[in-house]
Amino acid sequence: MIEEKRSRMATSRAGTRRDRGRAALATAGPGRMAAEYEGTVPYGPRLGVAQYRLANGLRLLLIEDHSAPVAAYHTWFRVGSRHERPGKTGLAHLLEHLMFNEFEGLPAGEFDRRMEQAGAETNAATWVDWTYYYEHVPASQLGMVIELEARRMGKLVLQDALVQSELEVVANERRYRVEDDVDGTVNERLYALAFTRHGYANPTIGWMQDIQGLTADDCARFYRTYYAPNNAVIVVAGHFDELRVVERVTKAYGYLDPVELPVEDKRPEPPQTAVRSETLRRPTATDKVAMGVHGPAMGDVDHAPLTLLCDVLFGGRASRVHRELVRDREIAIEVRGWVSTFEDPGLVEIQLTAREGHSAEELIDAVETELAKVVEAPVTQEEVERAKARAELALVRELETCGGKAEQIGFYDVVLGDPGGAMERLQRYRRVERGDMLRAARRYFGLQPRTVVTVKPGDGTEAGE
Amino acid sequence: MKVHVETSPALPLVTILAGFRGGTVLDPPGKEGLTRIAMRMIRRGTGKRTAMQIESDVDRIGADLGEHAGASSSSVSMDVIRRSLDAGVELLCDVLGAPSFDEAELGKLLREAESEIVEARNNDRGLCVRAFRRTLFEGHPFGRRSSGTIDSLRRITRQDVVDQVGKLVTRDNLVLAFAGDVDADTAARAAERISAALPDRAAAPRVIPDPAPPAGRRLVFVDKPNRTQTQIVIGGLGTSAHDDDHVPLLVASTVLGGTFTSRLMKEVRSKRGWSYGASSSLPVDVCREAFMVWTHPAAADASACVALELDLLEAWRANGVTARELAFAKRYLIRSHAFEVDTPSKRVQRRFATDLFDLPQDYYDRFLRRVEETTLEAANEAIRRRIDTERMVVAITGTFGEIGEAVAAAIPGVKEPAVMAFDQE
């Protein structure tokens, strides 16, 4: 698909000033870092993502959008928590925190100070497959961001004292997101139960005992192994001149050498053959349930139909499960369903919160009844159209800001290798038919054993099962 | 009727905001939660659509419909794919102009709202903020619980809901805004349709007095078992957007806790690793609002963290901010302002809020200039004048039996802590 777009775009742009500039960048002389232009992917009716690759392997994706004088600069690394070794969980996330501290020639705190002085909003996120860092800046400050980010990719300084202090911050983050948060706890247990071999079993934030044992050496090793130009993608979206940014990025990152990336010790998850369940007791007023069914990878042909099917079941107040459990039977206060957007096969997650006087078991029975219906018979055409319209609205809203565009482009490039993947995904949704959703329902909801985590009100001791 | 329009064809998306002056402050005593229930009822059935038909239609046309009841204003919002704009406007006219207030639907909604109150007990931060506001704004409408209590919800009748919508959703009380792929003429025609759908009657007046500061230091502890971490909010009264020193105080608050390199972040997170987040805020409303500092340290660090925050607040008040800090905060606010106006919906939201909250008409237009003009003297005078560290509220969610005594001891001058169970109404 991308190849077709490339050739079409190349023909239509032949002879423009920009193309001549791209050609010049691509043929820089010996000893000089060059950026090779690899084509442009259309991004909706008005925009396009220009793709470049530096000689050191760094990939650069640029989408000019002059609707506001701002720009988003995202740096995505193809490394997440699934790449961590046993006993070292939380390392990818801890390193993300440390990447805001000290660099050669830049004392701790100076990175943030310069960014804020520029009016930038800066942050980062780590998940199972990837880690990304972003700056949203006034367009006039983009040059400074390029310089600082280039330094951050290769000149991190890791000192024990800083690492120890940041470990405390991460431990507190874990308390905030997991220990003292019922939903966070349930989600963590669900993945830990559902996956027995694959790295998705471990929480991205890490197990508390692992976090507390991480060292500066661990972080340095992880940084040297994965934070390399040939494992990164830079996405720039907003108000800038493409060729000028290519030039600046090429110059700023030219000092970095590619590394030999390790072969991932990937352990495919074996089929789940039996139901797995666990019951926790927490100080919550009502029962909660998290159900998981092993689902498709993001690139699987059934991911789009299953996503739409989940929307028919759980998306919005007109959805089947919401209508049945929340509105008509009044046994739940909240229902959610989601297909994980992971590079490898993940889970279809279902989360339910009971009303007072109703049990987790009632909710599970009710959801299973609804799942059985979509396995038995196709959903209605009206339901399909509603789900498609909701998906379209969600995507358009994501694209309102340059940060939203950069995030979509970076995510799809890292997970699917397609910077225009969001647009392709929209087209795929439009092509989904009822039969596709029935096939997906039978493949994933039919005889697949569930993983179920239940929370009952209590004092925190585990009931176990 | 005021109509604001911000046109941008960049995306096939239109945002519509319909606001009404008046919110949960209009809840009658004993019927807290009424305004929120009233606003939610407008999407629960009309003369020609059942509640489920409304939800199906919203999804079918590619829209998102939201309703909101704040302390001093209420609103309905819609994002809709451009091709469905006409259908979206028709739907808005229907829900705003012809709600049926079906008795059975009201019963369902009230039971749902009760369950939400129970579920909210899982949100430690929400529990803390609520305790803070209830204590700071004691006796003032801002101190009342906008979602109501189980008891107050059970006192609400269909006639209450009809009357409350009647007080708010009227033609002369309407503020409208359109943003996105919609031109001024199209927006004007849509505005006429929406306005014509509303009853032509006077809305209830919105009279909200300035709140009084708390008497002395107060500690309110939300007691919840098995907390490994605490949620802490410390603060007092802030400013009104009409106050001359509002922007200077905002700049000074940015120094204290408005950025990642602020004093709070440096001391609490960077140096000690005590809390993942640490920030200060100064919201605006139709009258003087709160000034708040938020952290969430581990239970073991809670008392030390409270003591540190009080020290930081006292130093901030006694010594003010430095010229260098002020210049940094001003530059940050001025440059980052680009992200307050980078989308049509954000741009129109500012004008919408100006009318809805009776902000000074030039509040947003002059904001950058007022930041630029803020002097060191003005910023420090604003802190001294507005921040009274002897009249502050400290609210904590945590396990009282384990840390309550230590926390109380960390707050000089505090009276007996008020302890409330997390599931107490």
B221-263 residue pLDDT tens: 999 998 999 999 999 999 999 999 999 999 999 999 999 999 9
- The DSSP output letter for A13 is T
- A198 and A339 in a single domain? The answer is no
Q: How confident is the model at residue B425, as a pLDDT?
A: 76
Please check whether residue A269 lies inside any domain of the structure.
Answer: no
Contact B380, B386 (CB under 8 A): no
Determine the average pLDDT of the residues in B398-410.
96
Q: What are phi and psi of B146, to 5 degrees?
A: -65, -25
- A103 and A178 in a single domain? The answer is yes
In chain A, which residues have their Cβ closer than 8 Å to the Cβ of B122? 181-183, 284-285
Please check whether residue A271 lies inside any domain of the structure.
Answer: no
Please check whether residue A318 lies inside any domain of the structure.
Answer: yes
Contact B348, B6 (CB under 8 A): yes
Contact B391, B317 (CB under 8 A): no
Q: How confident is the model at residue A8, as a pLDDT?
A: 27
- A207 and A336 in a single domain? The answer is no
Query: Residue B219: beta bridge partners?
Result: B394
DSSP A215-275: -HHHHHHHHHHH-SGGGEEEEEEESS-HHHHHHHHHHHHTTPPP--PPPP---PPPPP-S-
The residue ranges of DSSP E strands in B26-105, in sequence order, are: 63-69, 73-81
Radius of gyration, alpha carbons of chain A: 24
Determine the average pLDDT of the residues in A278-303.
96
The residue ranges of DSSP E strands in A255-342, in sequence order, are: 276-282, 288-294, 332-339
> Which of B122, B120, B170 shows the shortest CA–CA distance to B148?
B120
pLDDT digits (tens, 9 = 90+) for B143-199: 999 999 999 999 999 999 999 999 999 999 999 999 999 999 999 999 999 999 999
- A233 and A122 in a single domain? The answer is yes
- A7 and A112 in a single domain? The answer is yes
Please check whether residue A215 lies inside any domain of the structure.
Answer: yes
Least confident of A12-21, A68-77, A333-342, B166-175: A12-21
- A42 and A169 in a single domain? The answer is yes
Look at residues A218, A253, A288 and tell me which one is the last residue of a structural domain: A253
Is the pLDDT at A4 greater than 90? The verdict is no
Look at residues A253, A286, A305 and tell me which one is the last residue of a structural domain: A253
Q: How confident is the model at residue A22, as a pLDDT?
A: 58
- A281 and A228 in a single domain? The answer is no
- A433 and A304 in a single domain? The answer is yes
Verify whether the Cβ–Cβ distance A68 to B259 is below 8 Å. no
SS3 call for A212: coil
Residues in chain A: 465
C-alpha span between B35 and B359 (Å, rounded) = 22
Task: Identify the band that residue A180 occupies on the pLDDT scale cut at 50, 70 and 90.
Answer: confident
**Cβ count near A331 (within 10 Å):** 18
Q: How confident is the model at residue A458, as a pLDDT?
A: 87
Is the pLDDT at A3 greater than 60? The verdict is no
Taking the Cβ of residue A166 and every Cβ of chain B, the question of whether any pair is shorter than 8 Å is answered with yes
The residue behind tokens 């990937």 is: A266
Q: Given CA atoms B421, B423, B424, B425 in this order, what sign does their dihedral have? A: positive
In chain B, which residues have their Cβ closer than 8 Å to the Cβ of A317? 55
Residue A322: which CATH number? Answer: 3.30.830.10
Task: Identify the band that residue A21 occupies on the pLDDT scale cut at 50, 70 and 90.
Answer: low
- A176 and A292 in a single domain? The answer is no
Task: Identify the band that residue A461 occupies on the pLDDT scale cut at 50, 70 and 90.
Answer: low
Share of chain B above pLDDT 70, in %: 100
> Which of A432, A425, A462, A417 shows the shortest CA–CA distance to A78?
A417
Q: How confident is the model at residue A12, as a pLDDT?
A: 30
Q: How confident is the model at residue A464, as a pLDDT?
A: 43
> Which of B400, B394, B393, B395 shows the shortest CA–CA distance to B227?
B400
Task: Please give the residue of chain B at the shortest CA–CA distance from A176.
Answer: B229
Q: How confident is the model at residue A207, as a pLDDT?
A: 97
Verify whether the Cβ–Cβ distance B229 to A122 is below 8 Å. no
**Cβ count near B232 (within 10 Å):** 25
- Domains within chain B, CATH numbers bracketed: 2-197 (3.30.830.10), 218-421 (3.30.830.10)
Please check whether residue A464 lies inside any domain of the structure.
Answer: no
Amino acid residing at B233: V
How close is the nearest chain A Cα to the Cα of B92, in Å?
17
Test the A interface: residue of B49, B81, B339, B372 with most A CBs within 10 Å: B339
Contact B13, B79 (CB under 8 A): yes
Determine the average pLDDT of the residues in A29-47.
81
- A347 and A382 in a single domain? The answer is yes
C-alpha span between A424 and A157 (Å, rounded) = 40
Q: What are phi and psi of A59, to 5 degrees?
A: -100, 140
Contact B84, B139 (CB under 8 A): no
How close is the nearest chain B Cα to the Cα of A400, in Å?
7
Neighbour-count burial of A447, counting CB atoms closer than 10 A to its CB (0-12 exposed, 13-18 middle, 19+ buried): exposed
Q: How confident is the model at residue B211, as a pLDDT?
A: 95
Token pair, residue B222, equals 């939300």
Complex ipTM value = 0.93
- A27 and A171 in a single domain? The answer is yes
Q: Which of A118, A330, A387 sits opposite B111 (nearest CB)?
A: A330
pLDDT digits (tens, 9 = 90+) for A294-330: 999 999 999 999 999 999 999 999 999 999 999 999 9
pLDDT digits (tens, 9 = 90+) for A47-81: 999 999 999 999 999 999 999 999 999 999 999 99
C-alpha span between B47 and A372 (Å, rounded) = 35
Please check whether residue A105 lies inside any domain of the structure.
Answer: yes
Interface of A with B in 396-415 (CB under 8 A): 396-397, 399-402
Verify whether the Cβ–Cβ distance B81 to A389 is below 8 Å. yes
Domains of chain A: total: 2
Please check whether residue A262 lies inside any domain of the structure.
Answer: no
Contact B106, B158 (CB under 8 A): yes
Taking the Cβ of residue A144 and every Cβ of chain B, the question of whether any pair is shorter than 8 Å is answered with no
Is the pLDDT at B76 greater than 70? The verdict is yes
pLDDT digits (tens, 9 = 90+) for B259-292: 999 999 999 998 998 998 899 999 999 999 999 9
Containing structural domain, residue A373: 276-457
Strand order in the sheet with B174-180: B2-7, B174-180, B13-21, B73-81, B63-69
Measured in whole angstroms, the distance separating CA A162 from the mean position of its chain's CA atoms is: 27
- A75 and A163 in a single domain? The answer is yes
Determine the average pLDDT of the residues in B41-59.
98
Please check whether residue A266 lies inside any domain of the structure.
Answer: no
Share of chain A above pLDDT 90, in %: 86
pLDDT digits (tens, 9 = 90+) for B104-138: 999 999 999 999 999 999 999 999 999 999 999 99
Task: Identify the band that residue A25 occupies on the pLDDT scale cut at 50, 70 and 90.
Answer: low
